[in-house]
Amino acid sequence: DAADGGIAAVSSIPAPEAAAIPTSGVVGQLVEVLDERLGDFVGSRYIEVQERAVLCREIVGMVRAAQGKGQQDRLMGQLQALFAEELNPVAPKAQGKVPVPEGLDLDAAICSEEEEEEE
């Protein structure tokens, strides 16, 4: 399960003191709404929207898994540690330095025209 793997992946990060993630109330409702609605964005024709939706869905899955195991305090601390430091900007020419894998057609459509028309 991806959520269990996510918890394991961040388990080596020291967890600072953090507030508990409630399983009910506003945060619980937010988790429910995100879980219900993110699927619409995962199927977007815009790759950036897909990427953010999948990331958010994984975090929601990690929250649910942590709640089920009673580890929400630990997860909250680990998530805070992940986002604690400022990200450095990427050099404008960095993408150009990444070699294109053999056989990858960067001009090929990611979604078919039919899928785009459905949106």
pLDDT computed for residue 118 by the predictor: 60
Reply yes or no on whether the pLDDT at 19 is more than 60: no
Cα separation, 25 vs 117, in Å, equals 38
Question: Averaged over 76-90, what is the pLDDT?
Answer: 84
Residues listed for the chain: 119
What are the tens digits of pLDDT across the range 33-61? 888 888 889 888 888 899 999 998 988 88
CB 6 within 8 A of CB 75: no
pLDDT computed for residue 116 by the predictor: 57
pTM for this prediction: 0.52
| Cα-only R_g, the chain | 18
CB 2 within 8 A of CB 57: no
